[in-house]
Amino acid sequence: MGEYHLLQPRKRKFNHPQTTNSRHKLLVYTNEIKLLGSVVPGRVWVSDVTYVWCENKWIYVAIVMDQSSRKVVGWSVSKSLSRRLCIEALDMALSSDEAPEFHHSDRGVQYCSHDYITILKENNITPSMADVGMSVDNPHAEAFNRSFKVEEVYLNCYESFEEAENSIAQYILCYNTKRLHSSIGYMPPVEFETLSFSGRNRAVLRVFSKNHVYYHSKRINWTSKDRHVD
């Protein structure tokens, strides 16, 4: 390259923030959903926090997602990585959907905080937490974060917090209502939930192995292969 007077651009390096602080003395909970297998929509919510570069600093995004339908039921954006960020996402979820049986997350200090656990217990939600350093124990939330980064964050350069918040809101709306998911039969989460809860169709989710998802009803008779968590 030097012969042609070309310079190779250097990749910009960022010191990525650590969103999970599990080194605390707060009470942690066991993984209650590990042996559940497949679940119907509304039974398990999964949560996670990720970071976004905005206006020369990091901001943070917390999401609460239905494990079965992949619908993001609650989210929040903040300049601070505090428990309030996660509580706001949980409050949004509880205001828009019925409380699930389980809430699964990592063992971060935000999710173990007294305020967060109190909200869960007041709504009769059983806390469930992944093992330390085991993202594979929370694959659905991790999968959303990967899609979110590739399909939204890496395609934008946010110049203000308000711009980032509005853009993220539009992405989540599209993710819930338009984006097709292979793991739920190539349909959007909102459509999947409507079908699942429809008394007329009575679509019943049955899983015979982790790689095959079947739906059966009088009006529906099709099979889809779930090759990856999406």
Q: What is the pLDDT of residue 204?
A: 43
> How many CA atoms does the CB half-sphere of 117 hold within 13 Å?
15
Which pair of tokens denotes residue 17? Answer: 């923030």
Q: Within its chain, how far is the Cα of 150 from the centroid?
A: 14
Domains defined for the chain, CATH in brackets: 37-148+157-179 (3.30.420.10)
Which of 192, 68, 75 shows the shortest CA–CA distance to 145? Answer: 75
Instruction: Note the pLDDT tens digit of each residue in 153-181.
Output: 999 999 999 999 999 999 999 999 999 99
Instruction: Note the pLDDT tens digit of each residue in 65-103.
Output: 999 999 999 999 999 998 999 999 999 999 999 999 999
Q: What is the pLDDT of residue 202?
A: 44
pLDDT band at 226 (very low <50, low <70, confident <90, very high): very low
User: Which has more confidence, 50 or 217?
Assistant: 50
pLDDT at 18 over 50: yes
Asked if residue 69 lies in contact with residue 93, where contact means CB atoms within 8 angstroms, the answer is no
DSSP string, 78-146: ESS-SHHHHHHHHHHHHHHS---SEEEE---HHHHSHHHHHHHHHTTPEEEEPPTT-GGGSHHHHHHHH
